[in-house]
Copies of this chain bind each other. A is one copy, B any other.
Amino acid sequence: MHELRKDPLMSRWVAVLSDSKKPEEYVLQPEEVITESNCKFCAGRENEIPYEIAAVRESGSQPNKSGWWARVIPSSKPILQIEGDLGRRGIGMYDKMNSVGANEIIIETPDHNKKPEDMGFEQMVRIIKLYKERVADLEKDSRLRYILIYKNSGREAGTLYSHPHSQIIATPIIPKRVKEELDGAKQYFAYKERCIFCDMMREELRYGQRLIFETKNFVAFCPYAQRFPFEFWVMPVKHSCAFQDIAADEMNDLGLVLFTVMKKLGTLLNNAPYNYVIHTAPNRIPRRDHWHTLGEDFHWHMEITPRLTNMSGFEWGSGFYVVTTSPEDAAKYLREA
């Protein structure tokens, strides 16, 4: 079984897989992206992959048969497994635990070659609806502390399948990056007694030069201190710490914003690889106390990051990033695209 290990210096958990790859597997067979001819996510091959967990379907269609617009399946090579207890324990000076959690794949369309920007706005809303449904279900499991929804598009963004899909990973710990963000928001709240995200959004609306697109319920902008060129954030106007509390009209609006800005991004950067991640609060059930505070000081949002450049030892060693297109210029290009 895979195991989770904690770096005692950085307080970072990692998953160490039990079936180690050999050196030559990296060199001779670099990770292959599964293309259309081998793709089991396409419509008509439902019986070759695990049973679906959820789906948005044409009325009258049967589970695990065709007639779906978008569906969720468990990963066939999960890093985290849904069975078993956490088994936290020490080994020498180090800490480890069992690799408990969930790994799911959201197949975003039956059609292999549809890009998100061609799916249309309704399809985007269906996908968001599935995200919400899965989080609402997974957060009932008291072993799980965090649910991360993300998308990899393109090889440099770490994808293994070219069929449009996104992923859900539920972890038994609050991951390091998430904790840092929660801590940062908490510190700001302690000092200002205001949500940092609400303040940032107000600042961006006032300044205007980093804005890309806005609707009644969402604002898309390039952050002031972005890490990567053309990185942008999408944030709900109404303060809310948890993505899964999104209302129906907000889902429509989020679908519209994502559809619109992703289309601009695709046009501008010739469908460059990108990642997006939903940044939301940890699960409320196992951490009710922490949650109570989070409700005020955290604000869920999405971060979308094109992968245009390679990280160097400088970024790796320092966490200091060099931005080769200013967020003001990037926002202008995106507004005008």
Q: Does A164 count as interface, using CB distance less than 8 angstroms?
A: no
* Residues from 153 to 201 in A contacting B, C-beta threshold 8 Å: 155-159, 167, 169, 171, 175-178, 180-181, 184-185, 188, 196-197, 199-200
Q: Does A268 count as interface, using CB distance less than 8 angstroms?
A: yes
B contact residues around A226 at 8 Å (CB): 14
Instruction: Say yes or no: A277 contacts B316, CB within 8 Å.
Output: yes
Instruction: Say yes or no: B311 contacts A158, CB within 8 Å.
Output: yes
B contact residues around A6 at 8 Å (CB): 225
Instruction: Say yes or no: B17 contacts A323, CB within 8 Å.
Output: yes
CB of A242 to closest CB in B, whole Å: 16
CB of A218 to closest CB in B, whole Å: 19
B contact residues around A247 at 8 Å (CB): none
CA distance in complex: A320, B310 (Å): 19
Instruction: Say yes or no: A180 contacts B319, CB within 8 Å.
Output: yes
Instruction: Say yes or no: B185 contacts A5, CB within 8 Å.
Output: no
- Return the contact of A225 from the options B5, B17, B158, B269 (Cβ within 8 A): B5
- Return the contact of A175 from the options B199, B312, B320 (Cβ within 8 A): B320
Dominant secondary structure at the A interface: mixed
* Residues from 319 to 337 in A contacting B, C-beta threshold 8 Å: 319-327, 329-330, 333
Given the known inter-chain contacts A93-B203, A317-B148, please indicate yes or no for A15 contacting B322, CB distance below 8 A.
yes
- Return the contact of A177 from the options B93, B277, B309, B318 (Cβ within 8 A): B318
Instruction: Say yes or no: A171 contacts B320, CB within 8 Å.
Output: yes
Instruction: Say yes or no: B229 contacts A21, CB within 8 Å.
Output: yes
Q: Does A16 count as interface, using CB distance less than 8 angstroms?
A: yes
Interface size on A, residues (CB 8 A): 94
Instruction: Say yes or no: A323 contacts B93, CB within 8 Å.
Output: no
Q: Does A305 count as interface, using CB distance less than 8 angstroms?
A: yes
Q: Does A224 count as interface, using CB distance less than 8 angstroms?
A: yes
Instruction: Say yes or no: B12 contacts A313, CB within 8 Å.
Output: no
Instruction: Say yes or no: B148 contacts A8, CB within 8 Å.
Output: no
B contact residues around A20 at 8 Å (CB): 324-326, 329-330
Contact with B along A1-24 (1 / 0, CB 8 A): 000011111111111111011110
Q: Does A152 count as interface, using CB distance less than 8 angstroms?
A: yes
CA distance in complex: A8, B9 (Å): 24
Instruction: Say yes or no: A318 contacts B272, CB within 8 Å.
Output: no
CB of A278 to closest CB in B, whole Å: 8
* Residues from 187 to 230 in A contacting B, C-beta threshold 8 Å: 188, 196-197, 199-200, 203, 206-207, 223-227, 229-230
| A9-B196, A148-B314, A158-B311 given; 17 more Cβ-contact pairs under 8 Å | A6-B225, A9-B188, A11-B184, A14-B320, A14-B321, A15-B323, A79-B322, A92-B203, A152-B313, A157-B312, A158-B309, A158-B314, A175-B319, A178-B319, A275-B312, A275-B316, A277-B316
Task: List, sorted by A's number, 17 A–B pairs whose CB atoms are closer than 8 Å.
Answer: A5-B224, A12-B225, A14-B320, A14-B323, A15-B321, A18-B326, A20-B329, A20-B330, A31-B310, A158-B314, A167-B313, A167-B314, A175-B317, A176-B320, A180-B319, A275-B312, A277-B316
